[in-house]
Structure 1
Amino acid sequence: MYDVKVPILGFDKIKNMNIKKLDNDFSILEIDSEDGTNMHLLSSNSIKSFDIDINEDFLKKMSIDEDTKISFYFSIVINNPISNSVVNLTAPIVVNEDKKLLGQYVIKDSNCLFTTMAELNT
């Protein structure tokens, strides 16, 4: 279970969430276990290269420094075929694995908002 330090957009009141790993690429963010609200996530390991400059305020809220083990995930809308699935690159889920903290970072100066799985692999 992770403590939410920076809210997930649309789920501001939820203070604890869990990440259930499905495989090396996909996970499920369990937002509200009572009503079964979940979000599909794509691990940043699945993306060839994606640089993110995170501001100091967010890093402080998440207790992240240069020695912190962190993970990045992107929300994904699953389509059939999977190559047509849509990935949100604008608001990654950032996880402080050392302290079990979670937050969503909205990239304000992004020119790449959404992409498909097929586009990520080209």
Structure 2
Amino acid sequence: MVFDVKSPILGFEKVKKMKLEKIDDVFMRLSNAEDNSPVFTLINPFVLREYEFDVPAAVKLLLDLEDTKNIFIANIMVVQNPIQDSTVNFLAPVIFNFDNQTMAQVVLDSLKYPQYQLAEPISDYYKSEEANEMMEKISD
């Protein structure tokens, strides 16, 4: 699905349309709909941790979020090899409004959200998630 960029991804202010493609339930690909770059790997933060923040009023207006039911939030992931060395940017989520095909990146105040970082290792969550899956198997 192609989205109109209402508030740009940092460093890519000239990009006006982005294409979102689902890879699986956890990962997505976000690419420039009008050029070959940029291309980002996104991750659903809710599969990793509790993730909550206030959407700024300006972004709510830009994306017309007030009565929207189909909102999706994702975070940019810097993929490394091995995957455990990859990092997730929890301080700059990307918000998608599927109802009107608009999107925006929000930059959170690190003082207001000290629990989120720019480059958190995915291994911090991968290990705990793996442990939870093992516990579920043992409990069954």
Structure ranking higher on relative contact order (CA contacts 8 Å, 6+ apart): 1
What is the CA distance between 1:96 and its match in structure 2? 0.4
Report the counterpart of residue 115 of structure 1 in structure 2: 120
> 2:68–2:99: 8 Å Cα contact kept in structure 1?
no
Q: Which structure has more helix as a fraction of its residues? A: 2
Deviations 1:61-101 (A, max 9, x none): 11002543110110011112212210000101100011110
Which segments of 5 or more consecutive residues in structure 1 lack a partner in the other structure?
none
> 1:88–1:115: 8 Å Cα contact kept in structure 2?
yes
> 1:27–1:40: 8 Å Cα contact kept in structure 2?
yes
What is the CA distance between 1:118 and its match in structure 2? 1.6
State the structure with more CA Rg.
2
| Residue 90, structure 1, aligned to residue 95, structure 2 | no
Which segments of 5 or more consecutive residues in structure 2 lack a partner in the other structure?
129-140
Q: TM-score, normalised by structure 2?
A: 0.79
> 1:44–1:71: 8 Å Cα contact kept in structure 2?
no
Question: RMSD over aligned Cα, in angstroms?
Answer: 1.6
Matches within 5 A, 1:1-122: 1-31=2-32, 33-108=34-109, 109-111=112-114, 112-113=116-117, 114-121=119-126, 122=128
Q: TM-score, normalised by structure 1?
A: 0.90
Q: Which structure has more strand as a fraction of its residues? A: 1
Decide which moves more: 74-83 or 41-50: 41-50
Q: Number of residues paired by the alignment?
A: 122
